[in-house]
Structure 1
Amino acid sequence: MSEHKLSTSTPMSRAVRAGVVGVGAMGENHARVYSELPGVTLAGISDHDADVAERVAEEYGTDSVPLETLLERCDVVTVAVPTPAHHEVVSRCLEADVHVLVEKPIAQTVEQGRELARTAHERGLVLQVGHIERFNPAVRTMADLIDDLEVISLEAERLGPPIDRTAPGNVVFDLMVHDVDIVGSLLGASPDSVAAMGTPDGRYATATMEYDDVVATLTASRVTQKKVRKLSVTARECFVEVDFLEQSVLIHRDSYPEYVNDEGQNRYRHESVVERPRIDNGEPLRHELESFVESVRSGTEPEVTPEDGIEALETVLAIDSLVDADRSSQDHERAQDPSQDREVEI
């Protein structure tokens, strides 16, 4: 191990040198936050698009350099390249003894994820998976509440309009993966069974998962003309609404019904009580990178481990295979009946 590199067994006290590999929309935000964090120096960025890399480097006062050079000057990096490149790029970073935060999903296949986890553990490095919603203040508040609830069901909606990009997205991997991870972390379990279906174009999908006695229903969409990021939890004690965008939590409880006397007239009243827990709002990405850097500094396990990322990936792959089977079934039906060959409207 190079002298300046850090093992998780050796806590650090000096400034952490950070880099970003892949500075598309998400990667650029990582560069921005690293440049703002106290005790962190943005040591450089790397991207296959030289023009983009130069622009981002100039914006945040750092250098655009090849990956090999970046790894020589960094203690930690964010890997925000397309998913098919995760395994190769993260492997190179770990083999250079650099701690890694890799954007979700951890890899393209479960075996690739397991291989990355093994490499990180063997080399004593932090490998954190970028499931950013874990660091949303509203989700953290929900995590504090859920242990005291007898949960019956959860329902997550991650909806929005089409995005402006050339490559078509798959909402199961792009969007639903967030809620798969959140539900799994809140319940502390993997699903016992999964059912799913979606549209042939991959822009809308819904999944139902069973966790012992709890049912979770997830919906992801790129065809909904309103941006929605919500989680609802039905428990025997209350109903909880979590809004990721507003970073708010509402707890609905029923009051006992009663008759009240109003100027000599008896009236029936049954009101709902709504609680609003205090939430320390903040940017989830900043919380995520602070947590990552602190794990490196202290030599402790990251808040979102490689195993967490692998578990989410396994579930997402299962959902996607079911959605793909549903797509194939729809294609077969259209082939049998040409009149059904029309664009799906949601």
Structure 2
Amino acid sequence: MNRTPSARPISAGVIGVGSMGENHARVYGELRSVDLACVSDDDDEVAQRVAREYDTDAVAFDTVLERCDVVTVAVPTSVHYDVVSKCLDAGVHVLVEKPIAETVEEGRALAEQAADAGLVLQVGHIERFNPAVQTVTELIDDLEVISLEAERLGPPLERTSLGNVVSDLMVHDIDIVRAILGGQPDAMTAMGTDDGQYTTATLQYDDVVASLTASRVTQKKVRRLTVTARECLLEVDYLQQSVLIHRNSYPEYVVDDGKRRYRHESVIERPRVDNGEPLRHELEAFLEAVRTDSEPVVTAEDGIAALETVQTISALVDEETPKREVQAR
């Protein structure tokens, strides 16, 4: 049964309160017209600590489904399907952290289940809600895009329970490129080094090419997107939430004190970016879709498409298929 609330506050819960799930609990607790009803985790000690921190209850999974209108599911990917499916069975709207499921088939089954139940199923591709990305998305409609280049680099992490670098990091840029260009790529190539911890991929969309790099072995944290268009060059810094537009770039030779020298100049614009926490924007959009019974910004179909591309790129960098090109679906 669909328990979409009307005038009363939305009752929210978080299933899985590791580092990401705890942040969801924090933001739910900060939002107006939302009651953080409870949290749940297989590790009861962790659940109790988070519950104390955000003034709510630590409860069993079944109790979350009884108390809540909406939930965030931030459990390991291997159990996404089972947990999300049970939430949907209970009539609860779901925001599931990326990826939507472990396999494309599971993702499609969840999408069908949510549609049949009339429930919102949003996938947590958080960079869609980065204010800098939202600014660029508005600008790009008026541009003739030639190429995109994304870099998502960083040093090794202490955490050991990480997916491969494509599913854990590059997936964000796969989703952003798809949101900008629309549809799935026509073809892909990819390769990796250092056991796949540094991976590059090239995605072909008609006459536009997207180059993606993800790394866990780079000793500097970089989150950057560059869009080359005929009219200008856009530079996006995800971390700084900033956008630069380079226009009218031209080279020239000038005479200075009798000496001839070369210079290259361009006009740089800095459009206004309404900075804010992407997670807050993401949860606000999710709750708005629930309140208005509308399609979420990041749909289950978006999550499935990103997962399909992740799996293709992962296969390309696997030891059994090095440097091999495959045609995308």
User: In the alignment, what sits opposite 1:46?
Assistant: 40
User: In the alignment, what sits opposite 2:81?
Assistant: 87
2:282 counterpart of 1:288: yes
In the TM superposition, residue 264 of structure 1 has moved relative to its aligned partner by 11
User: In the alignment, what sits opposite 1:246?
Assistant: 240
User: In the alignment, what sits opposite 2:120?
Assistant: 126
Letter in 1 for 2:248: D
User: In the alignment, what sits opposite 2:173?
Assistant: 179
User: In the alignment, what sits opposite 2:159?
Assistant: 165
Asked if 2 retains the 8 angstrom alpha-carbon contact of 1:12 and 1:298, the reply is no
In the TM superposition, residue 143 of structure 1 has moved relative to its aligned partner by 0.4
Q: CA RMSD in A?
A: 2.0
In the TM superposition, residue 165 of structure 1 has moved relative to its aligned partner by 1.3
User: In the alignment, what sits opposite 2:100?
Assistant: 106
2:61 counterpart of 1:61: no
2:227 counterpart of 1:227: no
Residues 166 and 266 (structure 1), Cα distance of their counterparts in 2 relative to 1, 3 Å cut:
closer
User: In the alignment, what sits opposite 1:72?
Assistant: 66
Distance in 2 between the 1:231 and 1:18 partners?
Answer: 33
TM-score (norm: length of structure 1):
0.89
| Aligned counterpart in structure 2 of residue 277 of structure 1, from 268, 271, 275 | 271
Asked if 1 retains the 8 angstrom alpha-carbon contact of 2:100 and 2:307, the reply is yes
TM-score (norm: length of structure 2):
0.93
User: In the alignment, what sits opposite 1:341?
Assistant: none
Distance in 1 between the 2:165 and 2:29 partners?
Answer: 31
Letter in 2 for 1:280: D
Residues 255 and 316 (structure 1), Cα distance of their counterparts in 2 relative to 1, 3 Å cut:
closer
User: 1:255-280: CA deviations, max 9, x gaps?
Assistant: 56678898999998652100000010
2:30 counterpart of 1:36: yes
User: In the alignment, what sits opposite 1:311?
Assistant: 305
User: In the alignment, what sits opposite 1:188?
Assistant: 182
| Aligned counterpart in structure 2 of residue 328 of structure 1, from 276, 300, 320 | 320
Distance in 2 between the 1:31 and 1:288 partners?
Answer: 13
Distance in 1 between the 2:48 and 2:251 partners?
Answer: 65
Letter in 2 for 1:328: E
In the TM superposition, residue 203 of structure 1 has moved relative to its aligned partner by 1.4
Distance in 1 between the 2:162 and 2:53 partners?
Answer: 29
Distance in 2 between the 1:27 and 1:68 partners?
Answer: 18
User: In the alignment, what sits opposite 1:214?
Assistant: 208
User: 1:265-307: CA deviations, max 9, x gaps?
Assistant: 9998652100000010000000000000010011111000000
Distance in 2 between the 1:220 and 1:62 partners?
Answer: 37
How many residue pairs were aligned? 322
Letter in 2 for 1:187: L
Structure 1 counterpart SS, 2:160: coil
Letter in 1 for 2:320: S
Asked if 2 retains the 8 angstrom alpha-carbon contact of 1:22 and 1:80, the reply is yes
User: In the alignment, what sits opposite 2:327?
Assistant: none
Distance in 1 between the 2:306 and 2:264 partners?
Answer: 42
Letter in 2 for 1:222: R
Which of these two proteins has the greater Rg computed from alpha carbons?
A: 1
2:132 counterpart of 1:144: no
Structure 2 counterpart SS, 1:134: helix
Mean Cα displacement is larger for which, 112-121 or 197-206? 197-206
Letter in 2 for 1:274: I
Residues 93 and 168 (structure 1), Cα distance of their counterparts in 2 relative to 1, 3 Å cut:
closer
Asked if 1 retains the 8 angstrom alpha-carbon contact of 2:132 and 2:237, the reply is yes
In the TM superposition, residue 43 of structure 1 has moved relative to its aligned partner by 0.4
Q: Which segments of 5 or more consecutive residues in structure 2 lack a partner in the other structure?
A: 323-329
Residues 239 and 114 (structure 1), Cα distance of their counterparts in 2 relative to 1, 3 Å cut:
same
The structure richer in strand per residue is 2
Asked if 2 retains the 8 angstrom alpha-carbon contact of 1:169 and 1:202, the reply is no
Q: Which 4+ residue blocks in structure 1 deviate beyond 6 angstroms?
A: 257-269
Distance in 2 between the 1:196 and 1:269 partners?
Answer: 37
Structure 2 counterpart SS, 1:271: strand
2:148 counterpart of 1:154: yes
Residues 266 and 230 (structure 1), Cα distance of their counterparts in 2 relative to 1, 3 Å cut:
closer
Asked if 1 retains the 8 angstrom alpha-carbon contact of 2:315 and 2:321, the reply is no
In the TM superposition, residue 232 of structure 1 has moved relative to its aligned partner by 0.5
